[in-house]
Amino acid sequence: MKIGYINIFVSNLARSVQFYTEVLGFELGAFEPEFGYAPLKGATVPMALAEDLSGQFVGGHTGVGMIVDDLNAAYQTLSAEGVHFDMVPTRQPWGGDLALFQDPDGNVFYLDDGAHHA
C-alpha cells in the first residue's frame, strides 16, 4: 500500500485555488469547479483541493508537511503575503526547525526544510 493522493478540504474553492497557486506556488491541474475539485501540480504526493460546503472537514490540523529549501526565507515571504503562522520557525527536540501555518480556511500545515526527514 502507498499514499496515492491527499485532499485538502476547503470551504471556498475559488479563494483556495488563488491562495494555493498565487501564494504557495502550486500549479492548477485539470480544474473541475462543477465537482468542487481542483488538483494541484508541484507536490511530491498528488494533492488536490476538495470543496466541503458542510464545513465538517475544514479548519483542522492536516498533518501535511510542506518542504522548502530555506525555511526562514519561506517564512518571511509567506508572512509578507499575509499568511498566518501558528508557530514561527522554531528549533525542535529532534534537531530540525519547524513552522506551522494556516490556509484561508484555518487548515494547519507543517513547514520545514526537510533536512531531518528520511
What CATH number corresponds to the domain at position 29? 3.10.180.10
Domain end residue (candidates: 55, 72, 92): 55
Tell me: do 90 and 37 sit in the same domain. no
CB-count exposure of residue 12 (10 Å: 0-12, 13-18, 19+): middle
> Which residue in the block uniquely carries the three cell numbers 480556511?
105
Tell me: do 40 and 66 sit in the same domain. no
Distance CA(97)–CA(113), nearest Å, equals 8
Strand ranges (E), the chain: 6-10, 27-28, 37-41, 47-51, 61-67, 85-91, 97-102, 108-112
Tell me: do 50 and 64 sit in the same domain. no
User: Tens digits of per-residue pLDDT, 8-26?
Assistant: 999 999 999 999 999 999 9
Tell me: do 63 and 84 sit in the same domain. yes
User: Tens digits of per-residue pLDDT, 30-46?
Assistant: 888 899 999 999 888 89
Tell me: do 67 and 112 sit in the same domain. yes
User: Tens digits of per-residue pLDDT, 75-90?
Assistant: 999 999 999 999 999 9
Distance CA(28)–CA(2), nearest Å, equals 24
Q: Which domain holds residue 15?
A: 1-55
Number of separate domains in the chain: 2
